[in-house]
Amino acid sequence: MKLLQDRIRRDGVIKSGNVLKVDSFLNHQMDIELLNEVGKEFKRIFEGYPINKILTIEASGIGIACITAQYFKVPVVFAKKAQSINIDGAVYSAKIESFTHKKTYDVIVSKKFISPEDRILIIDDFLANGCALAGLIDIVRSAGAAVEGIGIVIEKGFQSGGELIRNMGVRLESLAIVESMNAENGTIEFRE
Contact 151, 42 (CB under 8 A): yes
User: Known binder of ligand: residue 128?
Assistant: yes
Binding residues for a copy of itself (CB under 8 A): 15, 19, 21, 23-25, 27-33, 35-36, 58-59, 62-63, 65-67, 69-70, 73-78, 80-82, 84-88, 100-102, 109-110, 112-113
User: Known binder of ligand: residue 143?
Assistant: no
Q: How far is the CB of 110 from a copy of itself (least distance, A)?
A: 6
What letter represents residue 18's amino acid? N
User: Known binder of ligand: residue 20?
Assistant: yes
Q: How far is the CB of 40 from a copy of itself (least distance, A)?
A: 13
What letter represents residue 191's amino acid? R
Q: How far is the CB of 169 from a copy of itself (least distance, A)?
A: 27
**Where does residue 73 fall: left (phi above 0), alpha (psi -120 to 50 degrees), or beta otherwise?**
left
Q: Which is nearer to a copy of itself, 16 or 167 (CB)?
A: 16
State the Cα–Cα distance between residues 40 and 58, nearest whole angstrom: 21
User: Known binder of ligand: residue 129?
Assistant: yes
Give me the residues paired with residue 96 across strands: 105
Cα angle 65-68-69, degrees, rounded to a multiple of 5:
80
* Residues annotated within a binding site for xanthine: 20, 27, 156
